[in-house]
Amino acid sequence: MFSYTDIDPRKKAFVFELDNVLYPEKDYLFQVYYLFGAFLEYKELLDGKVLTKLMTDTYQKEGSAHIFDVVKERFKISDEYRYNFDLLHITARLPLKLLLYKDMLTLLQDIVVDRKQIFILTNGNPEQQLNKIRQTEWHGLEQYLTCYFADEIKPKPEPDALHHILKTHSLERRDVVMIGNSEADELCAEAAGVDYTPSAP
């Protein structure tokens, strides 16, 4: 992972994605799975621990796309519970705070000390992303964050939301570095003419 000293000191603003850049997304999803397992244990008298393990194992092997279908098939639950599963992803009140990657916490703190601007520009359902942000342990950094939800303008890799940040905050392209973890982030930065740095090697 790079450190603050690796970045051009002339940069005035930093634009971060949220998921798997500032914190591990699975830390959110696994708590959602735990809550859904507890919900089904209450409603259907199923074993919540077994359900949670099935969901987390499926995520590790196949990703998050078909987890409800795997649970539905294995336990023969009603498709009506899909609504509850999807709603939990958006509104879940987590048992535990989300923790930033240690190196990202250090990077954010260094940026604040140097009086530079920090933006979060995240793809995904705005309500869900806001829910994650509100349940993250920011160590007092939240007062220095300005958050934008790309889906409210146009999702990355389209550069519209990044252009909006530049215009709204009177920033030149050369002033900004974008830090992300996906092709969408990289293409967005390229299209906007902004420097890009991956969050991990």
Domain final position from 47, 65, 91: 91
- As a whole number of angstroms, the distance between CA 1 and CA 22 comes to 12
74 and 32 part of one domain = yes
Q: Are residues 43 and 139 in the same domain?
A: no
Number of domains comprising the chain: 2
Q: What is the pLDDT of residues 50-109, one digit of tens each?
A: 999 999 999 999 999 999 999 999 999 999 999 999 999 999 999 999 999 999 999 999
Range of the domain at 45: 26-91
Residue 117 sits in the same domain as residue 174? yes
pLDDT digits (tens, 9 = 90+) for 161-185: 999 999 999 999 999 999 999 999 9
* Interacting residues of 121 by C-beta distance below 8 A, sequence separation 6+: 15, 16, 17, 148, 150, 156, 161, 162, 165, 178
Its pTM stands at 0.94
Residues 104, 185 within the same domain? yes
